[in-house]
Copies of this chain bind each other. A is one copy, B any other.
Amino acid sequence: MILGHGDDAFRFDRPIRANFSSNVYSHVDLSQLKEHLASHIDVIGNYPEPEPYRLEAALAKRLGIDASSVCVTAGATEAIYLIAMAFSGSRSAILQPTFSEYEDACNLHGHTVEETDFSRADLFWFCNPNNPDGYVMPKEAVISLIKAHPITIFVIDQSYGFFTREPLLSPAEALRYPNVLQLHSMTKRYAMPGLRLGYVTGDPELLDKLRAVRMPWSVNALAVEAGLYLAERPDTAPIDLDALLSEAQRLRDALNGIPDINVDPTQTHFMLCRMQKGRAALLKDWLACERGLLIRDASNFKELDEGCFRIAAQTPEENDMLVDAIREWQQLQQ
């Protein structure tokens, strides 16, 4: 899917003053990283490594695993497309509703996509915490599934793994199982989606299949530079996760207090809101054009309807502004 994702401020003429529409928490202090990149801008003058091996080694060291178990990609999105290509023609099961790119990538590469019968799947895709609802599949349940289906390859997108206190399978733990690929995003943790940087961890034999279909130089030199910087300094741009998660719960309570809105329980900083009568597309346009607030119309997620939208918690002031604006829009509808 090209259009219909979040962070689409480019669609509106009016400047956006608060952005709830992608799952990026944008209030992190990236000044050190930006200074580092600005002072290393010369790296654009050379090709990046065809395979970003130095960065793979640096990430592996931080994760306590071998470099052969790390495959760096141009965002988690490239990882999704590489996996779908490497296993083209497979039977894939996808837990819906979720990020649409799993299914798009599977369709592009001739997979048969199942949504109900997971028992015969070659690949089982899920997002943990899940986009758009913030649900986290418990770690023990994940391990049981993996063990119960040793022939199935589990593609677990942990792009939002940093943003939950629920226990998750770590890359080192996941390596006990030869049938697991985990997707990770540098974009989400460090609020730098413009750079395109993610990675896959998992069994080296599975990763070799991805490397075999990867084009050279797919990860740009500034993304590699940022990755090397952050692998050495993972505490750059600190986030007070407890505060963010508690603010997300406060925002959820406030939204639940608006008539006609129900918010799904969430175990992360973003949440899925459902309106019985209102249309998310209209709400989104009104918020963007009249208030400069950007939300994600979630009606194009599978199994969701036209009343659904997704919000990632930002600062308390911005969240209050959003709640007030939605309440105002609701009143205008009556």
Contacts and interface: CB of A to CB of B under 8 A. Distances in A.
Contacts of A222: 194-195, 220, 222
A41 B5 CA distance: 23
Given A2-B50, A3-B50, A10-B54, A215 B77 contact: yes
Interface stretch (A30-38, A169-177, A276-284): A30-38
A318 interface: no
Interface in A1-52: 1-3, 5-10, 19, 22, 26, 30, 34, 37-39, 41-51
Nearest to A43: B194
A218 to B, nearest CB: 7
Contact of A45 (B6, B10, B192): B192
A9 B48 CA distance: 10
Given A2-B50, A51-B2, A54-B10, A45 B216 contact: no
Contact of A195 (B78, B101, B221): B221
A44 B78 contact: no
A54 B226 CA distance: 26
A193 interface: yes
A121 interface: no
A116 B186 CA distance: 46
B54 A44 contact: no
A37 B26 contact: no
Nearest to A193: B47
Number of copies: 2
A34 B41 contact: yes
A44 B10 contact: no
Nearest to A6: B47
B47 A217 contact: no
A66 to B, nearest CB: 19
A45 to B, nearest CB: 6
A81 interface: yes
A263 interface: no
A1 B44 CA distance: 22
A42 B46 CA distance: 22
Contact of A101 (B10, B45, B75, B216): B216
Contact of A1 (B5, B9, B216): B216
A105 interface: yes
The residue in A1, A39, A222 that gathers the most chain B C-beta atoms within 10 A of its C-beta is A222
A143 interface: no
Contacts of A51: 2-3
Contact of A220 (B5, B41, B80, B194): B194
Given A45-B191, A194-B43, A195-B220, A74 B77 contact: no
A108 interface: yes
6 contacts: A30-B44, A30-B45, A37-B41, A45-B193, A77-B217, A78-B218
Given A5-B216, A105-B215, 8 more contacts: A30-B44, A45-B194, A74-B218, A75-B217, A78-B218, A108-B213, A195-B221, A222-B222
Interface of A: 1-3, 5-10, 19, 22, 26, 30, 34, 37-39, 41-51, 54, 74-75, 77-78, 80-81, 101, 105, 108, 191-196, 211, 213-218, 220-223, 226
